[in-house]
Structure formats: structure tokens, C-alpha cells
């Protein structure tokens, strides 16, 4: 009762190893694209039962075609989502509308409801448009947007 490996098992292991390298590399995207190429090209060639040389060539060709597509698609998605820790300055200049939630004036910023106040400490009225100046703790310091 020994372990039997088919060719597609090896391609799947290679794709998973490339995904692991992607995680260890910190998101450089090259290994993610390599994993996609190995998974698609190698697995298809492995399932068909072609000789190893044909499988390697097929995986390489598919990988060369998929790498720019995967990288372009992931980078485009990354550019749409701006990651920033509240208070590091990425939110300065944003225009928001003040709403009242549970009796407190707040603005929605990156899916969070932050308490809001003007620089002089006063609270902006509900439905007013404000420009974020900075974040102090969990409070957004704002100025009128007009």
C-alpha cells in the first residue's frame, strides 16, 4: 500500500509552494502569478498525461501569459483600496457629511464612524459638509468644506 503520485499532484504541490513563497515574500505578486501559471498550465498538462517535457513547456507558456494579467489585475484592485491607519494622514482633505448617530455627531471614514469636532472644540451641525484636517485619537478634527 504505497503512495502513488500522478503528475498533477506534483504541479499542485508546486503551485502551493509558490503561494507559500508569496506569503513569505510579503506580497510581491510574482510568486502569486507563478502559482496561477503552475496551477493552470501544469495541472491541465498533468491531467492530460503528456510527457514531463511537454508539461514543463505548457506550464511555462501559460505562466508567461498569465503573469502580466494576474499582476495587472491585482495591482489595479490594490490601487482602488487605499490602506492607512487612522491618524497617519491618509484621510486629510477628505470631504464628508456629518450625521447624528446615537446622539453624537460622526462622519463615516473608511467604513468607520468617527466622532467629529471643529478645531475650536465645537460640534458641526448634522448634514453639514466638512473637510477632514487630521485625526486625534478616534476623533476627526474638521473644518467647513465651503
pLDDT digits (tens, 9 = 90+) for 39-85: 888 788 888 888 888 888 888 888 888 888 877 887 776 655 555 55
Q: Residue 20: what pLDDT?
A: 86
Given pLDDT bands bounded at 50, 70 and 90, which one contains residue 88?
low
The 10s digit of each residue's pLDDT in 15-46 is 888 888 888 877 677 787 788 888 888 788 88
Instruction: Give the per-residue pLDDT at 122.
Output: 93
Burial 93-126 (b: 16+ CB within 10 A, else e): ebebebeeeeeebbbebeeeebebbeeeeeebee
pLDDT at 117: 94
Asked whether the whole model's pTM tops 0.75, one would answer no
Predicted pLDDT at 37:
80
The C-alpha atoms of residue 89 and residue 17 are separated, in whole angstroms, by 37
pLDDT band at residue 89, thresholds of 50, 70 and 90? low
Query: Taking all residues of the chain, what is their mean pLDDT, rounded to a whole number?
Result: 81
Cα atoms in the Cβ-side hemisphere of radius 13 Å centred on 42: 22
Asked if 30 and 70 count as a contact pair (C-beta separation under 8 A), the reply is no
Q: Which CATH number describes the domain made up of 95-144?
A: 2.40.50.140
The residues spanned by each domain of the chain are: 7-80, 95-144
Q: Which residue has the higher pLDDT, 13 or 4?
A: 13
Amino acid at each position: 500500500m504505497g503512495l502513488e503520485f500522478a503528475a498533477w499532484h506534483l504541479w499542485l504541490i508546486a503551485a502551493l509552494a509558490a503561494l507559500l513563497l508569496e506569503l513569505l515574500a510579503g506580497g510581491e505578486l510574482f510568486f502569486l502569478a507563478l502559482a496561477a501559471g503552475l496551477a493552470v498550465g501544469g495541472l491541465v498538462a498533468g491531467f492530460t498525461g503528456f510527457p514531463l517535457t511537454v508539461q514543463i513547456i505548457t506550464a511555462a507558456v501559460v505562466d508567461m501569459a498569465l503573469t502580466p494579467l494576474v499582476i495587472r489585475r491585482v495591482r489595479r484592485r490594490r490601487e482602488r483600496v487605499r490602506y492607512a491607519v487612522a491618524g497617519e494622514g491618509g484621510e486629510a482633505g477628505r470631504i464628508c457629511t456629518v450625521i447624528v448617530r446615537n446622539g453624537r455627531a460622526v462622519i463615516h471614514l473608511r467604513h468607520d464612524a468617527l466622532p467629529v469636532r471643529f478645531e475650536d472644540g465645537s460640534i458641526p451641525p448634522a448634514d453639514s459638509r466638512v473637510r477632514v484636517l487630521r485625526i486625534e485619537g478616534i476623533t476627526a478634527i474638521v473644518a467647513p468644506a465651503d
